[in-house]
Structure 1
């Protein structure tokens, strides 16, 4: 697949948004322009579009070994997370709290608050891995559903999902997970989760389509009323274009996963070995992580000037979760892990992906070295 990136941009913010697979989006757009019919209509043209949506639902069900009717398409990852948590409220109308990792995306905490749940946070440490003993203690004292992200948006740390699943089953509780960063980036044990979410724009499918897997096909789980789309779970006309892009890009990403990850793992080692010689500290280096993600503490205070300097060279990195990075707040995940606010404010995230090349990495490291030495 041809990269949509120009030579002017070296992109290292894949965890925020994966660059789109231009050829896929262009093909799907051409189909949409000639077949723009509302999939909820009664004509054969509309039914054809509804058929495409159902084929995509079937594809994700086969991929994950899940049940088709429990997959719900929505527009964004945030919306998908809200539907996931809304299902908890329907299942447990009197439940007041949920056991949650301190490493979630901000939308997950917002969804919990919106549906009236308080979040009892699981302990963690500098490893970025949740404390399983603390989780079991909380389950034993007050058995409740558990929400724990699979792969960290910032650190890339992969949580011990199988061990978490065993604990939740031991205490007969549901286990929900945000798979936004893990999907199409590593092997995901889908069957151990009772509910989960992932999104098209995180894998290169463009904006506009995300998925929620619900714990059961209950018609009372619904984000919006007013229509019977998505098996009554989400009223509103489906985005057939985005859903088709989602499927076709997922097929490519899954097909090339092993080969891609071998290359990205080599880039990760190259990046981290070089940056450590410059005084950078790699967050959770010894933990199991996504091969595309490096979260680090810079050995300088002038982080804003560093980022501006990188951007002037056409190199895009970030300070962490895209929903919070613009505000330049200290990462709450890092604070819970035990880092100071001062350390957290010196962090940047480098994330690679399908279109990253060795030349990109060399350009990144050369410019980072020059700027770090300049600001030291």
Structure 2
């Protein structure tokens, strides 16, 4: 099997699974319980928070554990918007955000907020000049992803942070679900950031929202007041401890692994660009090292996905969250890609576990499939 769908989800690290099993088996008490068994679980929970904070070089009290990237994005965006709506009701975001951001924006618009959707270049990047022009006195939040989940384009996060550093508002939120442990990001000029556990070889149902202490949030889930009163619900301590382990393992030897992954991505791009009728939508100069998006002329994306599946090669049609709906990619549309190409786009997403041999086999199978389909069409 060749698994090239790592932006949808990753295979959990064996050590993370082992950690989860150990904690879930031996430390299953509720961390909010007052007895010593519960307090032992609470200690494990807080130790995991300290480990995550140390890996990110932030304060432990700025780490909020969630169920994943979607919840983290919802809590950050709605939490800031509703907490500061008396200061303004204008928000900036881009036209290529994940649905867990773009759909939240639609909900806020229904509540009376005004949202400006920034365009992107043909490489899938927002322009700093567009942000400057769109900023208003009542802008309270900017939410821009670090790495796009469909084409891998990297946004100018540092430049946006520099632009905002002298302003009290707006706050700056970054969806870093696809970027964490793949592309470095300095947090000093970011106010909030979302991370998903299952995108970095942790378990599903785990995530993180980093939030500076200066940022107030309106809680979205009310109950027992867990996670500093911002995310109520009995904590998933086993998953959280496993997430801390997965984060540490993902960041080990980062420069070496990133260099190897970039070389693998570049090999695939080189081979894809040699194929007749194939258009690559990922710009290597402005993208992360693990995502490639391409279209094959006159070939529907889902047809290629299923043809590769028969070869035990697993890829996806752009975002896994919307692929079942068979919709035209909003990201590619925003980049100026034509309707047929946007509808038929394929996403290949790599992990540090993938190999050159797998990449070579993928190209071989893809050539074979495209040739057979072309013969049928003729």
- Whether these two folds match at TM > 0.5 is yes
CA distance in 1, matches of 2:137, 2:296: 41
- Once the two structures are TM-superposed, the CA of residue 57 in structure 1 deviates from its matched residue by 1.4
Residues 297-323 of structure 1: CA deviation (Å, up to 9, x unaligned):
223324332211100111000111111
Distance 1:50 1:221, change over 3 A: farther
1:187 shift after superposition: 1.0
The equivalent residue for 1:301 is 299
Question: Could you say what the CA RMSD is over the residues aligned between the two structures, in angstroms?
Answer: 1.8
For the pair 1:136 / 2:129, whether they are aligned, the reply is no
Residue of structure 2 equivalent to 1:256 = 253
Shift of 1:166: 1.6
1:1-376 alignment to 2 at 5 Å?
A: 9-94=1-86, 95-115=88-108, 116=111, 117-139=113-135, 143-172=139-168, 173-216=170-213, 221-279=218-276, 280-376=278-374
Q: Distance in 1 between matches of 2:215 and 2:31?
A: 22
Q: Is the 8 A contact 1:128 1:287 kept in 2?
A: no
The CA distance in 1 between the partners of 2:82 and 2:300, in whole Å, is 48
TM-aligned CA deviation for residue 218 of structure 1:
6.7
Structure 1-normalised TM-score? 0.93
Distance change >3 Å, CA 210–CA 180, structure 1 → 2: same
Distance 1:303 1:233, change over 3 A: closer
- 1:140: how far off? 5.3
- Structure 1 Cα separation of the partners of residues 36 and 308 of structure 2: 52
2:79·2:220 contact (CA, 8 Å) conserved in 1? no
Structure 1 residue ranges, 4+ long, deviating more than 6 angstroms after superposition: none
SS of the aligned residue for 1:42 comes to coil
**What TM-score do the two structures reach when normalised by structure 2?**
0.92
**Structure 2 Cα separation of the partners of residues 359 and 38 of structure 1:** 46
Describe the shift of the 1:190–1:253 C-alpha distance in structure 2 as closer, same or farther (beyond 3 A): same
Give the direction of change, closer, same or farther, for the CA distance of 1:42–1:219 in structure 2 (3 Å limit). Answer: farther
Q: Alpha-carbon deviations, 1:187-222, whole Å to 9, x = none? A: 111222111110110001011111112243677632
Aligned counterparts of 1:104 and 1:218: Cα–Cα separation in 2: 22
C-alpha contact 1:157 1:287 (8 A) present in aligned 2: no
Single out whichever of 251-260 and 134-143 deviates more from structure 2.
134-143
Q: Give unpaired runs (5+ residues) of structure 1.
A: 1-8
Superposed displacement of residue 346, structure 1 = 1.9
Q: Contact conserved, 2:80 with 2:215, CA < 8 A, in 1?
A: no
Shift of 1:26: 2.5
In 2, Cα distance between the equivalents of 1:21 and 1:174? 34
What whole-Å deviation, never above 9, does each CA across 1:31-53 have from its counterpart, x for those lacking one? 31122111111111111111111
How many aligned positions are there? 368
CA distance in 1, matches of 2:49, 2:236: 13
